[in-house]
Amino acid sequence: MSVDSSRRIIVLRHAKADWPAVPDHERPLADRGRKDAPVAGRWLAGTGIIPDLVLCSTSERTRETWKLFAHELPTRPRTVYEERLYEASPGRLIEVVQEAVPEEVGTVLLVGHNPGVQGLTEVLAGGFEGDTLTRLRSSGFPTSAVAVLTLDTPWKAVEPGVAHLTTFWSPKD
């Protein structure tokens, strides 16, 4: 892939988690989360947008979300479980993309946590106002929601304002 080709970042917030008496990192999905994650995977598969690489937080709820989501895709992309995605700020998420995504990857999917995933989506699309971004800002970034951003820069050059938010979907849609 040439560096001036269009690329995509798919941002997935983990599905609804339960609140048992365990450390936050070990929280599993709630029943609703186990139902919503495959629905989100089917939605993405239906768009025809399939990631080449997945960067997933190491938390139990993100790993479980990804497993259920991935089962609905026509092919399973290479997956990297990345500790830095747990409770990451938008700036940290951008650093991970810059450092961990090889240039030959056309589409990367990040499985993470709020408020970081909403912040990342807003920061990357910051220069491009539109109905989709307005909807995201008014509704928040619910569990199992998916944002698709397009950009025309090398991964190492990802920075605020370089992307366009093309799609935002949540299980409520």
Rounded to whole angstroms, the Cα distance separating 150 from 145 reads: 17
* Tokens describing residue 53: 């690489």
Q: Has residue 4 got a pLDDT over 50? A: no
Report d(CA 84, CA 113) in Å as an integer: 11
Residue with tokens 């048992």: 20
pLDDT in tens, 6-17: 999 999 999 999
Predicted structure pTM score = 0.94
Q: What is the pLDDT of residue 1?
A: 39
Kindly report the number of other CB atoms within 10 A of residue 32's CB atom: 15
Q: Is residue 139 part of a domain?
A: yes
Q: Does residue 1 lie in a domain region?
A: no
2 in a domain, yes or no?
no
- Confidence (pLDDT) at 128: 60
Q: Which residue has the tokens 């938010």?
A: 165
Q: How many domains does the chain have?
A: 1
Strand partners, 80: 55
Residue 24 lies in a domain: yes
Q: Tell me, what CATH number does 16's domain have? A: 3.40.50.1240
CA distances from 91 to 50, 87, 94, 124, 151 (A): 25, 12, 5, 10, 17
> Is residue 102 pLDDT above 90, yes or no?
yes
Report d(CA 164, CA 173) in Å as an integer.
Answer: 21
Domain that holds residue 126: 7-169
Kindly tell me if the per-residue pLDDT of 82 is higher than 50. Answer: yes
Q: How confident is the model at residue 132 (pLDDT cuts 50, 70, 90)?
A: confident
What pLDDT score was predicted for residue 168? 92
Give pLDDT tens digits for 34-43.
Answer: 999 999 999 9
